[in-house]
Structure 1
Amino acid sequence: MNTSSTPSTVVGDYVPVIDLTSMHTPDGRAAIARAIGAACATSGFFVIVGHGVTPELIDRMYATTREFFELPGAEKDRVLATDGTGGLRYQAGSAAKSIGHDTPVDLCEIFSCNVLGDRSPEFRAQFADDTLPWTRANLWPRSPAAFRRTWSEYTDAMAGLAAHLMELFALALGLDREFFADKIDQHISTIVANYYYPPTTTPLPGQLRKGAHTDWGSLTILYQDDIGGLQVRHGENWRDVPFVPDSFVINIGDMMAFWTGGRWVSTMHRVCNPPHGTANARVSIPFFHLPNYDARIEPLFGSTEQESGPGTTPGQWYQEKMAAIYS
């Protein structure tokens, strides 16, 4: 692994831990929104506790997902992705290519599905045809038996948490609490499990478990285990994002940075390779929140088109990023 700078634990204000326990009271919401606004303007990263997602569901999601990845290849091949997104990929592409860095493929497998993928073909057709990632039917493995039910429950919980966070984002930006509501009521979010398998060969130069990148959408909700490896860029340094029990790591993506006219930042991050000779596997499960595919996204504050570029839509944004990663 290229370690041009020494990692250190993220503490203090750069990636703060924010307790959402009081988010359903007016005073609590206001205080939480202020803390979120400060984090999004500084690093774009924060850790949440008191989020209301039950530890039982989180543990079941993690265990079921890991069990799937550890199945024999022939069983996993039943849900192998053939095009676009959805299903299993043994090669996850190169995340760094999304920001123009030509690096080898990331050292992980992924399984993904989308929030619209279990709706009827007639329902999905209103969001464009099935050549586009967010309209394709989800592929579900037969084993583990509880996989589909668990993933569906967890996806619903993530969608609900994302809606609460978008309300807090609106308050943090000085907007009406419901500002984003009609722009995310048919969101095209995806949920992905990354399986960082035990290393068996020496990585290629510049090859990581997940290359340096920024996320694309409005926000990401990440569950990570206690093995570690996630790092966030801080100036010229890479800093570790520590594991906090019963927490999620939240970061904003490029679209939210664009939407706020640069008031908030989308920060580069990566997943490091384990120390040489360490044979540990790791699972992380990000929920990538994207607004409605045709929502008009334009800078809200102080930026001109010359500074930020023309407006866009999540559908257009999504396709451009996917094309870059799998090029």
Structure 2
Amino acid sequence: MNPNSVTMVDGYVPVIDLSARDSPSGRATLAEAIGRACRTSGFFVIVGHGVPPELIDRLHTATTAFFTLPDAEKDRIAHRPGFSGFRRSGGTTAQSLGQRTPPDLCESFGAHVTGELSDRERGELGDYQATWKLANLWPENPADFKDTWREYMTAVHALAADLLRLCSLALGLDEDHFDDKFDRHVSSLVANYYQPQVDEPLPGQLRRGAHTDFGGLTVLYQQDDRGGLQVLQGEDTWRDVRAVPGGFVINIGDLMSLWTGGRWVSTMHRVVNPERTDTSSRLSVPFFFQPNHDAAIKPLPPVAPAPGGRRPQAVIAGEWMALKTRKLFAPAR
């Protein structure tokens, strides 16, 4: 890995070139850069990741075509809980942290890796309500939507799995340390479609409210020519994360932060509204790489004290994520 393979976005979020990850020395250098990012901003951008550009383009085209269908056609696969199928409202993300805001200004469509399993296999994924226990519902139009999404999910899962191995190295662990916690993962791919804003948002209403991600790590595609994603630096400084052509934004979630004993940070982020003169739409597609539903997440030593001096407590991954999802999609009060 050459000295120019790590740059910075706005001085806070590094851009890391993964093209050297096939060599042991390259992987060691990449792990060091990833670990540094996860200790500071919790975010980094990757290029040289190997996901074919033409596949990303097909994903963008098919997904945008779906969201611009008439509402009646999209509603055929709607009215399901959580990150599954189509939703006219992507939920109220800030509610996952107990904050009350108006609903987020976006539509969403989601599918789970486990949604392709049999009824019996999905029935074994926890004895509680969870969105990953539902069979995927796929739109009939556009005709290539299902095949494109399944192909993309396979490619981005392989990328996420290798990023997790680099994370293991960054923590001073064997590369395969987390493998048995993700060998039956309940990951999801979710598309967020931010409609053109022709009406004034309500007070406190954003395209996506401030939140942290719930799980392991997130691999986010966002349009090259549309801004809006911001991450929180410190207590009150929001920093733009501009899209890097051909890149993915990566961030760790609450469970990975807990796993590291708080040494790595799950950082608050949001999607802000465009300028009032900007009536364009925006598409983002995060892949949420989530552990097995029954994985026990126990802090690795040394453990950093949580705010207020509390020590991080072990959780069961599925129970944690299901609770957060219920909060996110709970009716506003």
Shared fold by TM > 0.5?
yes
Alignment of 1:165-314 (within 5 A): 165-225=163-223, 226-235=225-234, 236-303=236-303, 307-314=310-317
Describe the superposition over 1:162-217 as per-residue Cα deviations: whole angstroms up to 9, x where unpaired.
Answer: 10011000000000111001110110111100000001211011000001111111
In structure 1, list runs of 5 or more residues that go unmatched: 1-8
Contact persistence 2:21–2:27 (CA under 8 A): yes
Question: 1:320: which partner in 2?
Answer: 323
Q: Secondary structure at the match of 2:20?
A: coil
Structure 2 length as normaliser, TM-score? Answer: 0.92
How far is 1:108 from its partner?
0.1
CA contact (8 A) 2:262 2:312 kept: no
**Structure 2 residue 120 is matched with structure 1 residue 122:** yes
Deviation at 1:242, TM superposition (A): 1.1
The aligned amino acid for 1:260 is: T
Alpha-carbon distance in structure 1 between the residues aligned to 2:46 and 2:128: 35
For the Cα contact (< 8 Å) 2:82–2:329, is it kept in 1?
A: no
1:53-105: CA deviation from partner (whole Å, max 9, x where unpaired)? 00000000011000000001111111113334310000111111111211100
Find the residue that maps to 2:255 and give its secondary structure.
Answer: helix
The percentage of counterpart residues that share the same residue type is 54
Task: Tell me if the contact between 1:129 and 1:135 (Cα under 8 Å) persists in the aligned partners.
Answer: no
Q: Name the counterpart of 2:49.
A: 51
Superposition deviation, residue 326 in structure 1: 1.6
Choose 298-307 or 74-83, whichever is displaced more.
Answer: 298-307
CA contact (8 A) 2:83 2:188 kept: no
Determine the C-alpha separation between the residues in 2 that align with 1:48 and 1:325: 28
Alignment of structure 1 residues 62-211 onto 2, 5 Å = 62-128=60-126, 131-211=129-209
| Structure 2 residue matching 1:65: 3-state secondary structure | helix
The answer (yes or no) to whether the contact 1:92–1:110 under 8 Å persists in 2 is: yes
1:85 is paired with a residue whose SS is: coil
Code of the residue aligned with 2:320 in structure 1: it is: W
User: 1:11-42: per-residue Cα shift (whole Å, max 9, x none)?
Assistant: 23x21000101112100000000000000000
Paired residue total: 318
Equivalent position amino acid for 1:92 in 2: G
Instruction: Compute the displacement of 1:314 (Å).
Output: 1.4
Q: How far apart in 1 are the matches of 2:159 and 2:71? A: 34
* Alignment partner, residue 21 of structure 2: 23
Kindly indicate whether the alpha-carbon contact (under 8 Å) linking 2:221 and 2:284 is maintained by their aligned counterparts in 1. yes
Residue of structure 1 equivalent to 2:31: 33
Q: Is the 8 A contact 1:258 1:308 kept in 2?
A: no
Q: CA RMSD in A?
A: 1.5
Amino acid across the alignment from 1:30: A
